[in-house]
């Protein structure tokens, strides 16, 4: 019996990531990675690893052209299945395979990190899954291009309604030195971010950014994203080595 389970949470997002040459060039392929790539041809894959509490989720690829976190997520998944962990990790390594295949920020003309409140969108579907699973927390991983917004390695969080969002960000900051960008209230900057909508639903959430050009994997960026993921999980006592 496999130490993990993969299911498809949305079929409309299906894409063949092997068509993205930059993605594939930077991928350290494992058997699990290729199982997830194969699953992506059917839609958005969700992999469950472990059992019991705490229950957390890591997501990447809400913006398909941000490749570093998606590659890092595959490495994290492999590490998790190779170890006995205390708790349950749900991982969506590529939220929108079609957008990753095309190296596109948008899907069907929309930025999915501005539409998490909108019924029928992929990001809203993730919110529903998070609620159904009764998650303890969610972290969404991104890459920001240099000299953009934020343009620096960072952790977005808020203090209301979920103070724990800020506490999680502090923990990641101590481990990685990623800059904390905190708002008093979730959704202050803009509506519809996956992180903000989770916090509004009382699921403590953060967004982690590393620096890499769109459609590329800048040197060291996937390693930094990996470290952010490890730091996030360690807050919940889930350690990988």
DSSP letters for 142-210: EEE-TTSSS-SSEEEEEEES-THHHHHHHHHHHHH-PEEEEEEETTSS-S--HHHHHHHTT--EEEEEE
DSSP state letter for 18: G
Q: Which residues contact 169 (CB under 8 A, 6 or more apart)?
A: 155, 156, 157, 180, 182, 206
Query: How many CA atoms lie less than 13 Å away from 155 in the CB half-sphere?
Result: 29
Mean pLDDT computed over 39-50: 98
Q: Residue 1 — pLDDT band, cuts 50, 70, 90?
A: low
* 3 state SS of 108: coil
Q: Please, what are the domains in the chain?
A: 4-235 (3.40.630.10)
Q: Residue 84 — pLDDT band, cuts 50, 70, 90?
A: confident
In the chain, the largest separation of any two C-alpha atoms, in whole Å, equals 47
Ranges assigned E (strand) in the chain = 4-10, 44-51, 55-60, 87-92, 137-144, 154-160, 179-185, 205-211
CB atoms inside a 10 Å sphere around CB 87: 17
pTM > 0.85: yes or no: yes
Res 10: pLDDT: 97
The share of the chain scoring above pLDDT 90, in percent, equals 94
Q: Which residues contact 119 (CB under 8 A, 6 or more apart)?
A: none
Which of these, 63, 54, 81, 70, lies nearest to 234 by C-alpha position? Answer: 54
**C-alpha distances out from residue 182 to 167, 199, 229, Å:** 11, 13, 19
């Amino acid at each position: 019996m496999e130490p993990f389970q993969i299911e498809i949470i949305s079929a409309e997002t299906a894409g063949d990531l092997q068509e993205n040459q930059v993605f594939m060039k930077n991928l350290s392929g494992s058997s699990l990675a290729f199982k997830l790539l194969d699953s992506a041809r059917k839609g958005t894959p969700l992999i469950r690893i472990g059992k019991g509490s705490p229950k957390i989720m890591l997501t990447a690829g809400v913006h398909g052209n941000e490749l570093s976190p998606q590659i890092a997520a595959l490495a994290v998944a492999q590490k998790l299945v190779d170890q006995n962990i205390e708790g349950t990790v749900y991982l969506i390594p590529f939220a929108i395979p079609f957008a990753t295949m095309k190296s596109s920020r948008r899907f069907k003309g929309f930025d999915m990190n501005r539409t998490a409140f909108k019924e029928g969108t992929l990001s809203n579907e993730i919110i529903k899954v998070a609620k159904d699973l009764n998650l303890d927390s969610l972290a969404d991983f991104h890459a920001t291009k240099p000299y953009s917004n934020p343009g620096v390695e960072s952790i977005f969080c808020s203090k209301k309604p979920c103070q724990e969002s800020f506490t999680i960000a502090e923990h990641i900051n101590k481990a990685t030195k990623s800059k904390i960008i905190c708002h008093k209230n979730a959704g202050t900057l803009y509506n519809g971010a996956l992180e903000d909508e989770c916090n509004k639903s009382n699921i403590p959430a953060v967004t982690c950014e590393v620096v890499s050009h769109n459609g590329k994997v800048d040197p060291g960026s996937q390693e930094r994203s990996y470290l952010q993921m490890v730091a996030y999980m360690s807050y919940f006592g889930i350690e990988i080595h």
